[in-house]
Structure 1
Amino acid sequence: MKHLAVSVLALILAAPALAAAPQDQVPPRTLTVTGTGIAKAAPDEASFSTGVVSQGPTAGAALAANTKAMNAVIATLKRQGVPDKAIQTSNLSLNPQYQACKPNMACPQKIVGYEVANTVTVTIGLDKAGAALDALVASGANRVDGIGFAIHDEKPLLAEARAEAVKEAIAKAEAYAKSAGVSLGPILSIQEGGVSAPQPINMAMGYRLKAAAVPLEGGEEKLAATVSITWEIK
């Protein structure tokens, strides 16, 4: 009984200390800063849509003419070294063509023919794109749309942008800490805010292109990355 009484007394004395322990844990003061990094490089890849628009007196005739012309276009692309995986059909349409009416005069809608449009989206090395466009027009392509430029392997550029984002976040944090009269402690968390790249330039070159030298200037591509870092401050 004596030992039991001592044990109960010890628990009673320890209870206030145990209850007070969580209250003594003050959350650390923190500083969260966001940094943005931008990396630049010249594009090495071009993409565009190309194809043929054909007309005929009947749907069958228009489709047959278009099929023949598109086969020549695709064969030309392959001769230019474009692999099958870089050629994808993006549009195929068949539409009736109606008799034109004189201005301000009503006339019955009469089908006078049909139009077939077939286009493919092509990805090719930028250094080969100009010559490919010349060859396509010569082989019968009369539609080119959506010229865009990209970097084939973005991983090295993205790694550079991320590193720059972290450097900027650290520089900001050091400046804020110095101004506030505190010091940076350990990093508590790092979160990526995302990456972004410019959208392709959409440039409709339209129908009835003439075979001529096609100069393409890729300019410069930019990749941006953001990161948020939280430090404990002392």
Structure 2
Amino acid sequence: MRGLILAGLAIALPLPPAVAQSPQPAAMMDGTILDVVAEGTTSRVPDLATIRTGVVTQSATASAALADNAARMARVLAALSRAGVAARDVTTTAATLSPQYRYADNQPPVITGYQATNTVSVRFRTISASGPILDALVAQGANQIEGPILSLADPDAALDDARTDAVKRARARATLYARAAGLSVVRILSISESGDQAVSPGPVLYARAKEAADTTIMPGESAVTARLSVRFLLK
């Protein structure tokens, strides 16, 4: 009788935490569990380009440096507007005024003038137009240009294609393992992303045509990748 009571108590004890937290423990699954990590890829031609451009001016006085900078920057912004760049695609990123010093041994620094800087971020929705616009900006007084940074207008759609490719690759690999083990794939138990999905732009190439003075930007293709962990049930 005592043995029966002890057996009943053992059945009434709660499951260990690790088992209780798992909705479908591998040990209780009717089949073989296979975990596969797969990376899917696709490619896209970038359709957005972003550059930083601006004007740096120097003068003996702060007011003169600012006035010269404002006049040149107005011409730069006007050139962007004439080129069809929308106001929503132009954002001021920096506007600074700083003194310039002359240093000498054992003497305090002396202010020799002032430097004014005004920088904007410009987004081009037609990459082919960005090269000629860069040339126009320089002609209008821009003496600071960084970029371009190429990107996709709709990265989610490209990532979805890469995710689809990753699932196909995972299933193909699972089928390979199952056949080698004399089993077959029953179904997918879970899918999780590793969190390192990425859009990797290719190299940006600059070229200058022989018959023209316009700078040409060649975006190439961007690789889009998605990494998934997929759990399969084999029987």
The bucket for the TM-score relative to the shorter chain is 0.7 to 0.9
Structure 1 gaps, min length 5: 1-11, 204-211
1:36 counterpart = 2:39: yes
Query: For the pair shown, which has the larger CA radius of gyration, 1 or 2?
Result: 1
Alpha-carbon distance in structure 1 between the residues aligned to 2:97 and 2:47: 35
Aligned mates of 2:164, 2:120 — CA distance in 1: 38
Counterpart in the other structure of 1:133: 134
Aligned Cα RMSD in Å? 2.9
Q: What is the Cα deviation at residue 33 of structure 1?
A: 0.7
Give the strand-richer structure, 1 or 2: 2
1:213 CA drift (Å): 2.3
Bigger mean CA offset, 153-162 vs 137-146: 153-162
* Contact 1:52 1:117 (C-alpha < 8 Å) held by counterparts: yes
Give SS of 1:215's match: strand
Give yes or no for contact 2:204–2:220 (8 Å, CA) kept in 1. Answer: no
1:109-120 aligned at under 5 Å gives the runs: 109-120=109-120
Q: Is the Cα contact below 8 Å between 1:146 and 1:202 reproduced in 2?
A: no
1:57-110 residue CA offsets vs partner (Å, 9 max, x unmatched)? 111111111112112111211111111121111122211112365xxx555411
Moved over 6 A (4+): 199-203
User: Which residue, out of 31, 49, 52, partners 2:52?
Assistant: 49
Q: Map 1:118-197 to 2 at 5 A.
A: 118-124=118-124, 125-194=126-195, 195-197=197-199
List gaps (5 residues or longer) in structure 2. Answer: 16-24, 206-212
- Alpha carbons 1:44, 1:127 under 8 Å: kept: no
Q: Evaluate the alpha carbon distance shift between residue 201 and residue 74 of structure 1 in structure 2; reply closer, same or farther with a 3 A threshold.
A: farther
Q: Which amino acid aligns with 1:198?
A: S
What are the superposed Cα offsets for residues 13-63 of structure 1, whole Å, 9 maximum, x if unpaired? xx97xx59x99x951131111111111122222111000001111111111
Rounded to whole Å, the distance in 1 between the matches of 2:202 and 2:137 is 21
* Residues 1:224 and 1:129: Cα distance change in structure 2 (over 3 Å): same
Q: Secondary structure at the match of 1:197?
A: strand
Retained in 1: the 8 A contact 2:151–2:201?
no
Are the equivalent residues in 1 in contact too, given 2:57–2:117 (CA < 8 A)? yes
Does the aligned pair in 1 maintain the 2:201–2:222 contact within 8 Å? no
TM-score, length-scaled by structure 2: 0.78
Give the aligned length. Answer: 207
Percentage of matched positions with identical amino acids: 38
Whichever residue aligns with residue 81 of structure 2, its letter is K
CA distance in 2, matches of 1:89, 1:231: 51
Aligned partner of residue 168 in structure 1, secondary structure: helix
The 3-state SS of whatever aligns with 1:182 is: coil
